[in-house]
Amino acid sequence: MGEALSVVVTGGNRGVGRAVAAEAVRRGHEVTILARRADEGAAAAREIGARLVVGDLSCVRTARQAAGEIAAAVPGIDVLVHNAALWPSRRVLNEDGFEQAFFTNHLAPFLLNHLLEDRLRRVVQVSAGLYVTGKVDPERTPAGEDFHPMRTYAGTKLANLLMVPLFAERWRQAGVTIDAVHPGVLRTGLGDRGGVLGLVLKAVKRTWKPAEHAAPTVVDLLAAEGTGRYFEESEQVPLRPPALDAALARRLWDDAARALDIA
């Protein structure tokens, strides 16, 4: 079965995160899930057989607290799986003035990577193939001034992917690795809407594969060797042009480091 790993999965109480956590436990790994709601998190952890850390990735203050809780509960993290994500239907700013999805999907993983890097061996970033439609304007996107109910999610995933090569290079000498994976188009609660559009989307989602379909693909990467790569399900593929803009990547990194007050 291979080496038992200490694995932390953000957003591990539902959807893809829960499926990944459950599969990792089934393979003999020691799993900790990070969940925002204590009651839902406790129920999921109990059913999966995982440890629970309660933490909120919605703003700088609570994300720093979550990192502290993870560090206290899991001194050595073999693999950190960034799964928690939002797909908002309207522009909402968090207490720091960031558009909520931009913070949770992009800045929160960036912050956790820095705060926990001394105890990390590997990071697996759950991504989305929609990144190819994303656009990030460093002057407007962080505060959601260009918010769109479809494009904003894609933009946050693009911003997140742009960081992968930079983290790979930052950690190369330390032997810490990072890969990203698009687990497929799956039937989860992400992006659910109300009204007529919500009903249409719900009907369309019935044709999609369940979240459990993603679990083996993501869990296979927990012990994989390599860094800076992008996978679509189980196949490694080159990143497409939107995610190859080195100047934009560096700008987003520098802006994030400044805003989050990290080196």
- Assigned domain for 63 exists: yes
Domain that residue 46 falls in: 6-260
Q: For the chain, what is the domain count?
A: 1
Q: Which pLDDT tens digit goes with each residue over 168-208?
A: 999 999 999 999 999 875 444 554 445 544 544 444 334 44
pLDDT higher than 80, residue 75:
yes
Q: How far apart are CA 223 and CA 214, in angstroms?
A: 16
Q: Which pLDDT tens digit goes with each residue over 202-260?
A: 443 344 466 677 788 999 999 999 999 999 988 999 999 999 999 999 999 999 999 99
The pLDDT value recorded for residue 184 is: 74
Q: Which pLDDT tens digit goes with each residue over 86-144?
A: 999 899 999 999 999 999 999 999 999 999 999 999 999 999 999 999 999 999 999 99
Mean pLDDT value across residues 21-25: 97
Q: Which pLDDT tens digit goes with each residue over 146-165?
A: 999 889 999 999 999 999 99
- Assigned domain for 78 exists: yes
Q: How far apart are CA 172 and CA 133, in angstroms?
A: 30
- Assigned domain for 1 exists: no
CATH number at 248 reads 3.40.50.720
